[in-house]
Structures are given as C-alpha cells and as structure tokens.
Amino acid sequence: MLSKLIDYFRPLFGSMDKSIVDPIGIQLEFDFLTRESLVSCLEKAGLNDQAQKISIAARETWQLHPSNLASEVGQTKLGGLPDLPKGMTWPIRPAMSAEEVSFWPDFQRDLITAPRPLSFVGQFDFGAIPPEVRDPLGFPSQGLLSLFYDVEFQGWGFNPAHRDGFRVLFFDDTDSLIPANRPSDDIKHFVDLPMTGLQKLMPFPASDETDIFDTLELDDHQAKLYRKVLWNMREVHEQNPSVLGPEHFLGGYPVPVQSGMEHSCAFVAAGLNVHEPIDETSNLVQQIMNAPNDWRLLLQVDTDHRTDMAWGDGGTLYLWIRNRDLVERKFDQAWLILQTT
C-alpha cells in the first residue's frame, strides 16, 4: 500500500532526488526533526545556500495529545468545564445588531442576536511546558490560558466586530482556581479531554503572506523546492500512526487551512475589515505593509470529533498575539481567526 502511495505522488515532485521524494528515505529525519536533520533534508533538496537560514527560522512548538490522566484543576485540557476564580462571571458575548446577523436564517436570528455565554474551548497550562520549549517561545513559566468562543456565530476574525465572539483569559495564580458551573444547558459544551504535550520543531510554512518567508529571499525555483520538501514531510507525518489525529499546539507556526494570517491580524487590529476591498494605496495600509509584522501564533485548535469540536467544515481556530503583548502578558489582546475548507 505504501509503495502505491509513493508511486502515486512521485510525479508531483518531478525530477527531485529520490531521497527527498521517498518517505522511507526521510522517515527518521522527520519523525525526530532537529535543526541539524532539517538542514540535511534541505541540502538534499538542493537548498544548500538557504538551509542554515531556514533552520534558524524554525520554531519549537508544544503539540498536544490526549492524556491518560484524569482531569484535574489547572490541567491542560480541551472541553469540559473551565477552572475559574471563585465568583468570576462566565464570559458572555453581548447582543449583536440586526446588521451583523442579516445573512442568518430568520429562525436563528433570535438565538444569535441575544446575549449568549461563550462556549469553553480549552485551558492550557504554561507550567507544564518544558523550559527548552517555553523560553524560546516567550511563554510565561506558569499560569493558565483559557479560550472561550461563540460557537453559534463562529466569527472568522476578518472583522474588528468579531472581538466580542471570543474571550482569552490568563490566570497567573492557579492555586485559587476552582471548576466553574455551567451557565446554561442550551449552549454548546464540549467533551472533557485532558491533554499532555510533546516537543516538536516546526519549519516555517511556505506562505507568501508571512513576513519571515520574504526575509529568506528565495527565488521562484528555490521557493518551489522548499514547498515540495514541506509537502513531502507532511506526507510522512500523515503516514505515521503515532502522530495521526487533530493538530492542536501552542506556539510554533500554524498549519493553515487557507493562507497566512499575520497581515490579516495587523489589518483587523488597525480597524479594517479584511473581508471588504482594502485600498492598498492608503497611508494606513501602506504603513501596515511596510512595518515589521510582530504577530505570532499563540495557539492552534483543530476540529476534533473526540471532543465534538467542529470549526466550520473541518476547519481550525488560530489564536494570534503580538510579540509586545506576549512580553507584557496582555493575552486579552490576542486575536482569533477561523479558517475552514
């Protein structure tokens, strides 16, 4: 079966060296990817001059997997009930205007327009991430990050008005947290799934919309080679039963369903709706495009049927934050984007 897959995909790689094309030849390097093995893969693909620079640009990530341990207060998990300070009010999405929900069917508008409790997506313990992963990412040494989202409306994050459709909480002191009570039975609740993590090195995604991709100054041929290397790594990843499943992780680079998101975050933060035509000649847009983009991925939460989570049509939630807000622990300034097929 594996040989048939290799024969099927081989034409897509043209005349590339077989050691790069063949998943068997790259298996050990990718399953335990280090900066050194990444350099080796890139050099085999003909990217000798760019290999070191690409390796340096790779980021550590903390990939989440289900844990066999029972759910405990302050533990990383998806779904279930959040741990909140005693007496804290469950996050609420305020009422929405008729204009915001004009495209919804009449029978759903009352549900959407009324104030609603946000659904709890998950909580993430920074203290459980080892320093060799946590420190390069700029994460705090302790504290709990919690994400809530408007599952009924499922804002895509292209409009500044979508700010009300999610909430990010950060608790530096986790000793005072207790399990919260459900605010309502008629909002979407997800299955409780405790999670643990695994360190992983992620090469940057080959998206023309990412600033870091432009800084590598790859020509068209080199960019094509790099995309093929990433695509082949993806195939190896998906053939390994130990890594199959939804892709949830903290830090690193996103696995985009569509395209890069850094510029979208910058535009929305400046008050622009990226779903509408943008005047690229305006001073504001030029200022955004010419300034260094300091948005980075904080969290990715995939569609996961084990928890009954479905974002659009098999999509993914991406939580982004500016470097300066991460340094100052202003997690409430993060921005959420939904991408789906």
Residue 212 CA to residue 323 CA, distance in Å, equals 14
What pLDDT is stored for residue 5 in this prediction? 33
Residue 173 near residue 97, CB atoms below 8 Å: no
Among the ranges given (122-131, 181-190, 245-254, 296-305), the one the predictor scored with the smallest mean pLDDT:
181-190
* DSSP structure class, residue 309: B
Angle at 337 between CA 332 and CA 341, to 5 degrees: 160
Q: Is the pLDDT of residue 209 over 60?
A: no
pLDDT band at 101 (very low <50, low <70, confident <90, very high): low
Kindly state the average pLDDT of the residues 178-182: 93
Query: The tokens 């779904």 sit on which residue?
Result: 79
Best CA proximity match to 245, nearest among 21, 75, 4, 78: 78
Which is higher by pLDDT, 257 or 106?
A: 257
Q: Which helix (H) or strand (E) holds 177?
A: strand 177-179
Q: 106-109 long-range CB contacts below 8 Å, 24 or more apart?
A: 108/152
Cα–Cα distance list, 247 to 185, 197, 312 (Å): 28, 12, 16
Residue 221: phi and psi, rounded to 5, are -65, -45
Among the ranges given (215-229, 239-253, 277-291), the one the predictor scored with the smallest mean pLDDT:
239-253
What pLDDT is stored for residue 19 in this prediction? 39
Q: Is the pLDDT of residue 128 over 90?
A: yes
For the beta carbon of residue 300, count every other beta carbon within 10 angstroms. Answer: 24
Q: Is the pLDDT of residue 310 over 70?
A: yes
pLDDT band at 224 (very low <50, low <70, confident <90, very high): confident
What pLDDT is stored for residue 20 in this prediction? 37
Residue 206 CA to residue 223 CA, distance in Å, equals 8
Q: Is the pLDDT of residue 274 over 70?
A: yes
Residue 233 CA to residue 203 CA, distance in Å, equals 10
pLDDT single digits (tens) 15-29: 333 333 333 344 434
Residue 318 CA to residue 321 CA, distance in Å, equals 10
Who's near 265: CB < 8 A, 6+ residues apart? 295, 320, 335, 337
Q: Is the dihedral of CA 132, 134, 140, 144 positive or negative?
A: negative
Best CA proximity match to 247, nearest among 190, 191, 311: 311
pLDDT single digits (tens) 139-164: 999 999 999 999 988 889 999 989 99
Residue 109 CA to residue 103 CA, distance in Å, equals 9
Residue 322 CA to residue 294 CA, distance in Å, equals 5
Residue 268: phi and psi, rounded to 5, are -65, -40
* DSSP structure class, residue 76: -
Residue 149 CA to residue 254 CA, distance in Å, equals 19
Q: Is the pLDDT of residue 106 over 70?
A: no
Tell me the average pLDDT of the chain: 83
Best CA proximity match to 254, nearest among 31, 29, 59, 124: 59
Who's near 115: CB < 8 A, 6+ residues apart? 92, 93, 94, 95
Under DSSP, is residue 162 helix (H, G, I), strand (E, B) or coil? Answer: helix
Q: Is the pLDDT of residue 34 over 60?
A: yes
Residue 120 near residue 80, CB atoms below 8 Å: yes
Residue 67 near residue 194, CB atoms below 8 Å: yes
What pLDDT is stored for residue 104 in this prediction? 61
Q: Is the pLDDT of residue 82 over 90?
A: yes
Which is higher by pLDDT, 71 or 253?
A: 253
Residue 203 CA to residue 38 CA, distance in Å, equals 8
Residue 81 near residue 180, CB atoms below 8 Å: yes
Residue 76 CA to residue 125 CA, distance in Å, equals 5
